């Protein structure tokens, strides 16, 4: 009797049914895969690329330590785009003395980078008439997707270094010293 039950499994109709079921199931999985993948991405179950921009002084060991305020110096920095999209960057260079509350603009510019590209910018600048220790800063602004976000937002980064300047005396100060 068992032989008779087993022979039912090997009938041509059973093969046709099983083969058809496998084909239909395969088509449904293939067609439904993007829908399932989108839903899993919405639920944050799939890994997402980490988006970031690197901003750094190209050679931090060669930063100016003391400058005369009216002499030119070169600021060299690098931006590396890892945002997984082409991104436009805007940078500004500023200087501010320790006792001054106002930032003085000393340069700026714009550039666009594709993913995994980088640019090294060397910008000659002249420090304003400031005394003592001066902070020289590079501010970077761009549209990027923040960690955990879905839409681009304004992103900002900055780097800076301290230097000292030798202020030339004003004419009044020179007159007082000479008297």
What DSSP assignment string belongs to 9-30? HTSHHHHHHHHHHHHHHHHHHH
pLDDT of residue 116: 95
The pTM of this model reads: 0.68
pLDDT of residue 171: 46
pLDDT of residue 35: 79
pLDDT of residue 3: 55
66: left (phi over 0), alpha (psi -120 to 50) or beta: beta
**CA–CA distances in Å: residue 62 to residues 72, 73, 84:** 15, 11, 31
For the chain, the residue count is: 179
pLDDT of residue 30: 74
pLDDT of residue 88: 97
pLDDT in tens, the chain (179 residues): 455 555 555 677 777 788 888 887 777 777 777 877 787 777 777 777 788 999 999 988 887 766 666 778 889 999 999 999 999 999 999 999 888 788 899 999 999 999 999 999 999 988 888 877 889 999 999 998 887 777 889 999 999 998 877 665 454 444 445 54
Q: Scan for tokens 């920095």, then name that residue.
A: 77
- Does CATH number 2.60.40.10 belong to domain 52-166? yes
The residues facing 79 across adjacent strands are 55, 119
Asked if residue 94 lies in contact with residue 104, where contact means CB atoms within 8 angstroms, the answer is: yes
């Amino acid at each position: 009797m068992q032989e008779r039950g087993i022979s039912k499994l090997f009938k041509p109709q059973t093969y046709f049914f099983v083969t058809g079921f496998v084909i239909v199931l395969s088509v449904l999985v293939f067609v439904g895969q993007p829908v399932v993948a989108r839903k899993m991405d919405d639920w944050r179950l799939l890994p997402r690329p980490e988006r970031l921009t690197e901003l750094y002084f190209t050679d931090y060991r060669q930063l100016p330590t003391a400058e005369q305020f009216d002499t030119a110096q070169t600021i060299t920095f690098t931006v590396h785009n890892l945002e997984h999209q082409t991104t436009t960057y805007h940078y500004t260079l500023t200087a501010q003395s320790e006792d001054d509350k106002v930032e003085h603009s000393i340069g700026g510019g714009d550039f666009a980078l594709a993913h995994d590209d980088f640019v090294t910018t060397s910008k000659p600048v002249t420090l304003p008439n400031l005394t003592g220790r001066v902070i020289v800063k590079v501010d970077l602004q761009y549209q990027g997707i923040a960690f955990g976000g879905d839409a681009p937002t304004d992103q900002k980064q900055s780097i800076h270094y301290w230097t000292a300047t030798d202020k030339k005396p004003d004419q009044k100060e020179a007159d007082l010293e000479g008297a």
